[in-house]
Amino acid sequence: MITNVANYSAVDSAPNPNQWVDMMVDLPSLAPELDYIRSTMQGWLARRKPKSVLDAGCGPGVTTKELARSQVSIDKIIGMDASDRMLSYARDHNAMTNIEFQKGNIMELPFEANTFDAVRFERVLHHVERPQKALSEITRVLKPGGYIVGAESDTYQVRVHPLSELQNMAFNNAFNQGFRSEAVGRYLHEYAAKSGLMVLEHMCFSMIFHDLETIDSKFEIRRLIGESLPDNESKTMIAELDKAQEEHNFFFSIPVYIILATKQ
Ligand SMILES: C[S@@+](CC[C@H](N)C(=O)[O-])C[C@H]1O[C@@H](n2cnc3c(N)ncnc32)[C@H](O)[C@@H]1O
């Protein structure tokens, strides 16, 4: 159960680190929209034919391997993450001859300037306090003429349907406690421009989850509603959500912004 997403900022010292690894491995099966998001990003890169790519904050290496398989131009991909546990899973399950998994901090990338033809990142910047600085680091290690592709959510725009606007705001306050930069998705365009990148594509998708029990087991929706609303109101609300689920009227959505930009 995901009790505190803040643990993604320090997976190895979190209680039961494997649950954070499992959550990342399971997520595509819970949110099929990730396939669209990832294949759109891959399509953008494929047209640019990068040879060297960094997957920054690669987690369990699922996206690193997908990239290696889908892009024939790539000679070498480095999957980098701050967590040994994530990297250990990546090496055991997602190894390929042209992938190297290595430890590193996105705030201070362990690479020379102008190293990569492309840098990819996905849902990493909301776990750091200064996402603009991380994007500047990514830009530093990118070769001139190289590309970034990134996906970041805006969990302040999470929608629990059919909560009212006010109830949703109260829920979002509780839900976002664990993130360090919960709204980063909406600033991606601005941060990229401020890092000196030229933005070529900018889109927003929503990941939509329809099963209340699944989402509750991952994100503790009922507990958060209980904590964010007065007692009588939260009980009524939870009962309404249960009813909505029975009537196929429940969903939980998270917007994800994606961007393609180039270093001139
Ligand atoms: C939500 S997961 C996303 C993983 C992967 N990008 C994916 O989409 O499957 C966030 C990842 O960022 C890593 N992370 C958090 N802070 C980091 C930092 N400062 N530098 C590098 N990685 C970091 C975590 O260890 C975790 O693997």
Domains of the chain, CATH where assigned: 8-155+180-207+255-263 (3.40.50.150)
* 8 Å CB contact between 101 and 87: yes
pTM given for the model: 0.94
Indicate the DSSP class of residue 105.
B
Whole-angstrom distance, CA of residue 221 vs CA of residue 151: 24
Which of 124, 133, 219 should be mutated for ligand 1, with most atoms under 8 A from CB? 124
Q: If you measure from the C-alpha of residue 214 to the centroid of ligand 1, how many angstroms do you get, rounded to a whole number?
A: 22
pLDDT by residue for the chain (264 residues), tens digit each?
445 666 777 788 877 888 888 888 988 888 889 999 999 999 999 999 999 999 999 999 999 999 999 888 999 999 999 999 999 999 999 999 999 999 999 999 999 999 999 999 999 999 999 999 999 999 999 999 999 999 999 988 999 999 999 888 888 888 888 788 889 999 999 999 999 999 999 999 999 999 999 889 888 889 888 888 888 888 998 999 999 999 999 999 999 999 999 999
Q: If you measure from the C-alpha of residue 106 to the centroid of ligand 1, how many angstroms do you get, rounded to a whole number?
A: 9
* 8 Å CB contact between 150 and 121: yes
131 lines ligand 1 (CB under 6 A): no
Which of 2, 5, 8, 129 should be mutated for ligand 1, with most atoms under 8 A from CB? 8
The residue whose CA is least distant from atom 27 of ligand 1 is 59
Which residues make beta-bridge pairs with 258? Answer: 151, 203
* 8 Å CB contact between 157 and 255: yes
263 lines ligand 1 (CB under 6 A): no
